[in-house]
Structures are given as structure tokens and as C-alpha cells.
Structure 1
């Protein structure tokens, strides 16, 4: 019975700890860091886009953006368990892509694993440019991080 009930647990967790004031992604270290006023609150290993080197420039390039953005939306019905949106592309990203006659892409999220398809534990960099963590980890991050939180993504 306990196993059955644990399978029914909600993916929506609550969090009453210190406020997350900044999210940092260190692409080369494959690390997501949640920071509060007193320092680091949590860290998580991440997967990136399928071509992770360099800043995302165009739709379909498989890169994960680099730069300063904000968490701007939440998707409780994500195909990737849960997801929180990153404000890519910004004005500079759109202008660069437009100058090249291309789309900058969009819909960049921090998300869990897919409901079907690729197992994120078997392949590190598999997204189209998003940042992936495990389903359990995205449940924590989703509860902790609020819209409007700054996110810095480093090479």
C-alpha cells in the first residue's frame, strides 16, 4: 500500500525556506546553483542542449543560451514533468538573429525528464537548448524559484 501511495504523491511540493534570489547555470561544470541572501541554497547537475558549446544564436542550433535573463513563466503541464521558463531571447538575441535573417528560437526552460523518449540519466546533453534536471529536482526548483528571479548562464 505504501508503494502505491508514494506513486500518487503530488509533483507540486511546498517550500518555506530562504528566498531564492538568483539562479546561476555554469555550463562547463554542468551545474545549476540556487542562491539566497546568505549564499548557496542548493546545487544540481544539469544536462544542456545537444550542442552545448557557445551561446544560443538561432532556432535549432542545439545550444543553451549564455547571459543574463529572468525566470518568466511556469508550466505545470510540461511534457518534461514540470518546467520554468527563461526569458530568452532578449532584445540583443533577437537583433543578432534578425541581422542574420534567422529566428533566435525561444521556449528555453529548466525542466525535468521527458515523459517518454530520451532518458536524461543515460544522456547528458539531449535538449534542444534547455537545461534539464531530474523530475525530483525540478519539483524542488519549481517550488523554490519564483517568476522574476534573475538567472545568469555562464559558458
Structure 2
């Protein structure tokens, strides 16, 4: 399977998806840092290629690690300001008029930017339940979900 070229984007989720996809492939292929860097930069096209040409001038390519290239990549495509905005959006997210499917999509997208919740199963479950519409929250809590996945299934069924 060949990963897609990355041409640059203003959507941080597409940029994040690119790095996550590469990470999975590189781990499967058991590539070392040097090979990861070469493969990743090979996939930069369009605006991303132009950005990389400029960014790479300030880096020692002979010793560039995967960790360092992802930090440089994130500083361009997922800035601290963007992360802060996405974190605030996630922390204030409520289901409101969204369908459960739409809410789950927004919840999962935003959860990535709040690792204290994303990496704590109990916190993720509580945060999800607390943001559901009250009637759905009640219906899901009655079933006593113990995991996020069970709560999601319950919310979909309750809707």
C-alpha cells in the first residue's frame, strides 16, 4: 500500500492524519529514523515540498530524527494556536442539535488534542456522557456503560 502524497493543507486533521498514517506504515515496516525521514520528505508535494525546501535549510539532514521532523512539521501545519483553538472547541463541545453520529465525529476529532482526556478511559467516558443531550445522557447512563465504546453504542441505540 502506498501512502498518499502530502501537498500541504490548512486543515490540521489532514496534516495529523498524514503523520499518523506514516507512523503506522513505518512501524509496520520497522524503519529506522533515517529511512522514516527520507520516506516522509519524499511524500511532500506542492506547497509542502516548497515549505520543506525552506525548512530543511536550517536542519542537519544527516542527523535529522523522525521526532524532530514531526516537530518541524507540526510547527508549520498544526501550530500551538491551532491546538489551543481545537482544545477550546473540544472542551466546550456539546451535542446540542447534532445527531449522535455528528457529535461522535466532532468528539473524536477534538479528543485527540486533549491527551489528558483522550488517554484516560474514565475521563473520556465521563466527558462524552456529560456532553450528550440530557435525555440521551439519562438513557445511556441507565445502561451503566463502563467504557467509551459502550457509551457510544448506547447513545446510537438511544437516538
The TM-score, its normalising length taken from structure 2, stands at 0.23
- Structure having the higher helix fraction is 2
Instruction: Tell which structure's C-alpha radius of gyration is larger.
Output: 2
The TM-score, its normalising length taken from structure 1, stands at 0.23
- Structure having the higher strand fraction is 1
Higher relative contact order (CA 8 A, sep 6+): 1
